[in-house]
Amino acid sequence: MKPLSGLATASVGAASLVFAWLALTVQPDFAHAGSAVPGFALDWGLVPLAAPFYALLGALTIAVAIWNGPEGRYGWGIAGFAAAMGAVLMARSVAAFMLAWELMALASVVLVAAHSELRAVRRAAFSYLIISQAGALGILGALCILAANAGGTSFAVIAKAAPHLPGAWRSAALGLALFGFGSKAGLFPLHFWLPRAHPVAPPNGSAMLSGAMLKVAVFGLILVFFSLAAPAGTTWAIVVIAVGAVSALGGILYAAVDSDFKRLLAYSSIEHTGIICVAIGAAVLFAKSSAALSAAALTAALFHAVNHSLFKGTLFLAAGRVANVAGTVDLDRLGGLAASMPWTSAAVFVGMLGIVALPPLNGFTSEWLLLRTLASGMDVADPAARAAAGTAVLALALTGGIAAACFAKVYGLAFLGRPRQPPMIAQRETFGWQAAGTGILAAGCVAFGVAPLLAVSPLSRITAVLVGSPDGALRDFGVPATLGAVPLIAVLPILCAVAALLLMRARRTRYAPTWVCGSTPTAQTQYTATAFSKPLRRIFAFVLFPEHEKRIEIGSSPWLPSRIAYRTSTAYVFDDVMRWASVRILMMSRRGRSVQSGHLRLYLAYAAAVLVLIVVVAR
């Protein structure tokens, strides 16, 4: 059965790539299933917006299928999860969308709870289930408002009626949609489930959650803001930019001070979802003043969504490989992995160059496009748009600097240096299924970094339709010309590396142990992840609220302690707020139990009262 599950996973991935091509070229309507109950018709079809999301879903699913190998780890669960996400992208009516959305949520909960025998896993799955259902209610509320205004539940009918939606109802729909899709995307302050779910999920499940499911939520946001409830307006654009900027900064700050490899990557996913959210908000912001700027910002959002799937999928699969071989993902216990795990080390290096947006990798091209668009947006006439664009540039610049420090910590401490617990790995890593699956995604990072027009050209055609910009608006904005120069930019670091190598070979280098004041250096004297991130914890103490405790046990002399213990932790304020809210909701729910008397006559009275209320409202 395991080989069959691997084949099923790969088949779903291949089908997703076919759907991406169909969505970009043919846009077929597959089925319409009517219903005797009004509003429950199921419409299925493909639109151009779904193409990049099908492409990233297909590439990631195939890579995970290869990473699984013949053993087919959680293959059926991965296949079902990918198929459910594909169904969400294909839904063209309210009932079809909510049906596919709930199937996706159920499949993802099953993956998160794969090791349900552990208490931490059960708690993480329960937290995710609660926020998932709350978000689904928000999405349902938004779609019901839009459908009631349009007089139909088909997305085509809703989009046609969107310009005539009253302002108050439009704001209600946009707010509910931002809550619903934002909770699934892990945006602040509804992100608390994500750092809990990713560390406990299997590695291939984490790659699919971060690389694909978060992007399906992004698809929903774009669908509502640019089609079903368009135009959103300046106020909501600024709200989306603010939510994205806070998510990007908060996510990378928590990632920078964390020492668990997988949880760190989960916080980084919040950061990059925030960056995508900033790009979406910028596209809405510039929609009135400049179609070219709006199209460029939305292209940057879609391009970064694709890029994030590639480098985050690479890193999560590599983290899974590290966990399988080394037995831990605690950065304070890892070291020297590059010598024993060369294939994984190379993939992580590529993924980290992409995630910190360094050329010539893909993260640089999409973030550069966004920053250039925001910088150009500071020249528009609207002062609110100028202020929002300038603030977003500052937030993204700070985010990029912290991200560089964060992932320098990860690679420098876990993969360089000396093993902290030798012999951690008995034998040198060989190329296998897991290295091949990770390598495919790493190759995609390089390809879209060196040749970004492979993705930007088709994406620009999609965004031109969504924002109503004329064909060639991005060309007039200068995007193809400047992105076409990226291969030339990519040559510069290569030339610098070659020059440095030649200079090092020209000099005679003597290797000797590090001088540590006369004592013998050991692996335990190396920097730890906790120590490396201490400056950031101190600088941003007003946000992180760090807590630390130091214990010193005195030996024979006060100057010679026998033992020093140091413990530090970060107070997760948003988690505390959500925990407080959950407790209050539970208390209110318990008080509401008083209406459950168990008497049939009282329940009939309730039903009669509701019926009378409906008649009064309907009149």
Full DSSP string of 256-323: HT--BHHHHHHHHHHHHHHHHHHHHHHHHHTTTT-HHHHHHHHHHHHHHHHHHHHHHHHHHHHHHHHH
Give tens-digit pLDDT for 297-306.
899 999 999 9
Q: What is the 3-state secondary structure (H, E, C) of 112-161?
A: HCCCCCCHHHHHHHHHHHHHHHHHHHHHHHHHHHHHHHHCCCEHHHHHHH
More confident residue, 104 or 525: 104
Q: Break the chain down into helix, strand, coil percent, rounded to 5.
A: 75, 5, 20
Q: What percent of the chain lies above the pLDDT cut of 90?
A: 16
Name 563's bridge partners. 553
Give tens-digit pLDDT for 309-328.
999 999 999 988 888 888 88
pLDDT of residue 484: 53
What three-state secondary structure class fits 472? coil
Residue 583, C-beta contacts closer than 8 angstroms, at least 6 positions apart: none
More confident residue, 293 or 493: 293
pLDDT value at 121 more than 90 = no
pLDDT of residue 523: 66
With residue 556 as reference, give the H or E element that holds it.
strand 546-557
pLDDT value at 41 more than 60 = yes
pTM for the predicted model, two decimal places: 0.85
Question: Please, which pLDDT band fits residue 32 given cuts at 50, 70 and 90?
Answer: low
What's the rounded mean pLDDT across residues 445-474? 79
More confident residue, 466 or 493: 466
What's the rounded mean pLDDT across residues 370-375? 87
Q: What is the mean pLDDT of the chain?
A: 81
Name 32's bridge partners. 43
With residue 548 as reference, give the H or E element that holds it.
strand 546-557
Question: Please, which pLDDT band fits residue 29 given cuts at 50, 70 and 90?
Answer: low
Q: Tokens 């406990």, residue?
A: 200
Could you give phi then psi for residue 549, rounded to 5 degrees? -145, 130
Residue 118 amino acid letter: L
**DSSP 8-state code for residue 72:** -
Question: Please, which pLDDT band fits residue 54 given cuts at 50, 70 and 90?
Answer: very high
pLDDT value at 273 more than 90 = yes
What's the rounded mean pLDDT across residues 59-85? 84
pLDDT of residue 276: 94
What three-state secondary structure class fits 15? helix
pLDDT value at 219 more than 90 = yes
Give tens-digit pLDDT for 491-527.
566 666 667 777 766 666 666 767 777 666 666 677 7
Question: Please, which pLDDT band fits residue 618 given cuts at 50, 70 and 90?
Answer: low
Give tens-digit pLDDT for 402-418.
999 888 888 888 888 77
Cα–Cα distance for residue pair 401/276, rounded to 1 Å: 18
Q: What percent of the chain lies above the pLDDT cut of 70?
A: 81
Between 214-223 and 291-326, two packed helices, what is the crossing angle to 10 degrees? 170
pLDDT value at 391 more than 60 = yes
Q: Tokens 């995630």, residue?
A: 355
Burial (CB count within 10 angstroms: exposed 0-12, middle 13-18, buried 19+), residue 214: buried
Give tens-digit pLDDT for 145-161.
888 888 888 888 888 88
Question: In the chain, where are the structural domains located?
Answer: 233-492, 534-553+561-571, 574-618
